[in-house]
Amino acid sequence: MDRRMEPEDAPPAAPENAPQAEREPNAVEVGAVEVAAYLRAHPDFLIQHPELVATLTPPEARHGDNVLDLQNFMVQRLRTDLTQLKGQQRALIATSRSNLSSQNRVHAAVLALMEATSFEQLLQVVTTDLVILLDVDIVTIGVESAAETHPRLPLPGIRLLPSGTVASILGPERPARLGDDIDGDVTLFGDAAGLVRSEAVLRLTVSEEGPPGLLCIGTRRPDRFHAGQGTELLCFLARALEVTMGGWLDLAA
């Protein structure tokens, strides 16, 4: 006589935390045979997923004790080259992002110079706002003075330099100098020189008749500026400052 299955006769349910194979009776474990069959049915699988080539170990062909398997050697060489190319690609992307960030910072700094409403505010923007906009620790303006004594200036970021300082640092025509892993120069950075571990020193020529000057940017990061770094953006910033300062000085004349 048929009887209906009572609740206690039902197969026990798999616990919720049981492995997937236990909870799904129809699940099939995939092994080498299944993988091989799938690849035979999909011969273009590696074309669609070329990144897997770098993880596969190629077979080594044997042609005798005195015969080398050049095919295996070439595959291993290609795998090494692929790894190196990926590393170079990541380095290139990181450099591009860093350059884009520097460009955006310099553009924001130039706009801040242009927005100054007085010469005094312009100097304050350079010595205060540019520190934040450029993500550095100190920015100063140095101007050569022939006077033997240098009075204390109202703005701490303005430095009076001994005559000949610009030529001794940059020479007759050099527009910029970058230095890494250095000790800050008190002449350029004053009391903040102890913080400076790398610097960018840029020539300022506001007018042919006026004294030469320097835009000095310092940071505590020893590798922020270095000799192999491009200076185009920083020179553009210095040139923008020259033009802006020259405009305000002409108005005051």
H/E element holding 63?
none
What is the token pair recorded at 161? 């330099």
Q: What is the DSSP string of 197-250?
A: SEEEEEEE-S-SSSPPEEEEEEES-TTSS-TTS--HHHHHHHHHHHHHHHHHHH
Q: Where are the beta strands (DSSP E) in the chain?
A: 138-145, 158-162, 176-179, 198-204, 213-219
> How confident is the prediction along the chain (253 residues), in pLDDT tens digits per residue?
444 444 444 455 555 555 444 445 555 678 888 888 888 898 888 778 777 766 666 666 565 566 556 566 666 777 777 778 888 888 778 767 777 788 999 999 999 999 999 999 999 999 999 999 999 999 999 999 876 655 566 677 899 999 999 999 999 889 999 999 999 999 999 999 999 999 999 999 998 888 999 999 999 999 999 988 889 999 999 999 999 999 998 865 5
**CATH code reported for the domain at 94-252:** 3.30.450.40
H/E element holding 186?
helix 186-189
Q: What is the pLDDT of residue 2?
A: 47
Bridge partners, 141 (sequence order): 158, 215
Distance CA 159, CA 177 (A): 18
Q: Burial-class residue 181 by CB neighbours within 10 Å (0-12, 13-18, 19+).
A: exposed
- Residue ranges of the domains in the chain? 94-252
